[in-house]
Amino acid sequence: MIDLGLKRISALLQNQGRFPWQAIHVAGTNGKGSVCAYISSVLNAAGIPCGRFTSPHLVDRWDCITLNGTAVSKSVFLEVEAAVKERDASLGIGATEFELLTATAFEIFSRQKVDIAVVEVGIGGRLDATNVFEAPLATVITKIALDHQGFLGSTLEEIAKEKGGIMKKGTACVVDGSNTGQVLSVLQRIASEVGAGAYTISKLDASGDGYAEIMTPAFGTQRFTSFLQGNYQPSNLACAVNALSHAAEKFPIITSAALQAGIKSTTWPGRMEWVDISSVVGKRTSVLVDGAHNPEAADALAEYVNKKLPGPVTWVLSASKGKEVRIMLQRLLRDGDHVVAVAFGAVDGMPWVSPVDPQEIVNEAVYALGSGESVTNFGHDISAALKTACNGGNVVVAGSLYLAGEVHKLTRLN
């Protein structure tokens, strides 16, 4: 169940937004997970005890919480989760699943004595369960697009207002400069109203095929040649580097050397990721896996595929209910492509999430391609779908991060 609001999480945490660690709080529609991955990787390289909380999880419920770059152990997670649930029951709070998970993550960070926690907003920002920090170290707002309109509003301006709700008085805020003028105007107004600290519109000083140059007060001009795949990644990288520049004011151990090492070693599973599925299909095979789940993310994936994978592609596709399947498929599919439609399984800890019927994907694929000859419905049999898809040519698994998680789960089991 999604039920936005801060009353329950505030009662559950009982600390008035004060923690023994500092937070870098990241909101946005696309790219916020990548930004969190870059920042936490640099903090690890700098030797700063750090945590990261992102959502949703990829395979296990607890892999959305990391400590110094490694997923928290199942035993630690379950111990703290039990304590949080007992508090919820004893106080009669009635917290949602995401609020319980958020409280669990924050308590783990406190018990494990991290210095900085990188926290991704779940939905929106203003009323999201993570928005309980009195004075974060920095806030970041990545690219904003139409998504979750039923909760956040029907226009970019309305959605920007919700996401801009994470800004705090005196706290530095970094905003992705590739946002539309309307979005930037809304966010600038919010920053002025709340009295945010240094307000930075992040941008690239130079970029090209395989490199990006970013200038910040703490690090000067830095040239990066090794970062995550995807044509949108330079903008995400700029957000992260600018946020780290602000953090370096209080944590001078975040040096240019740590920045370069951390960015180079950043990984972000399930997003523009080549996954070896040889153990699943019985022959040496890698597929491109991306959790693109809205039209803007589909545009970015399509641009990458068109550039890197010429010729027909076989798409293994799933989607969550409520997503704009027709628009996504129209942006992804090309003449000559093939589609294998599937449904991901139940998502642990997120009972409100469910897949669209694969037949809907089939219908929309036929509409987009103009023919049903290259479209197949494999229901819930993702393993069989992958084996069929890998009979020849390039394969891309997309449409849902939950499907990306299923692929990772299969490689672990086989």
Asked whether residue 338 is domain-assigned, the answer is yes
Which two three-digit tokens encode residue 339?
């589609």
Cβ(136)–Cβ(174) below 8 Å: no
Tell me the CATH number at 402.
3.90.190.20
Which of 230, 264, 298 delimits the end of a domain? 264
Asked whether residue 2 is domain-assigned, the answer is no
Domain match, 249 and 110 both: yes
Give pTM, 2 decimals.
Answer: 0.91
Domain match, 248 and 305 both: no
Domain that residue 65 falls in = 7-264
Domain match, 314 and 189 both: no
Domain match, 79 and 181 both: yes
Domain match, 212 and 292 both: no
Closest CA to 333 of 319, 321, 317: 317
Distance between CA 170 and CA 219 in Å, rounded? 22
Domain match, 257 and 278 both: no
Tell me the CATH number at 64.
3.40.1190.10
Number of domains in the chain: 2
Domain match, 88 and 178 both: yes
Which of 215, 237, 264 delimits the end of a domain? 264
Which two three-digit tokens encode residue 22?
């500092």
Domain match, 138 and 99 both: yes
Asked whether residue 342 is domain-assigned, the answer is yes
| Sign (positive or negative) of CA dihedral 352, 354, 360, 365 | positive
**Helix, strand, coil: what percent of the chain each, to 5?**
40, 20, 40
Which residues lie across from 27 on neighbouring strands? 141
- pLDDT per residue as tens, the chain (414 positions): 566 678 899 999 977 678 999 999 999 988 899 999 999 999 999 999 999 999 889 999 999 999 999 999 999 999 999 999 999 999 999 999 999 999 999 999 999 999 999 999 998 889 899 999 999 999 999 999 876 554 565 688 888 998 999 999 999 999 999 999 999 999 999 999 999 999 999 999 888 888 999 999 999 999 999 999 888 899 999 999 999 999 999 999 999 999 999 999 999 998 889 999 999 998 999 999 998 878 888 988 998 899 888 889 999 999 999 888 999 999 999 989 999 999 999 888 778 889 999 999 999 999 989 887 889 999 999 999 999 999 888 999 999 999 999 999 999 876
Asked whether residue 1 is domain-assigned, the answer is no
Domain match, 238 and 373 both: no
Cβ(18)–Cβ(365) below 8 Å: no
Q: Which H or E run contains 70? A: strand 70-71
Domain match, 234 and 362 both: no
Domain match, 283 and 225 both: no
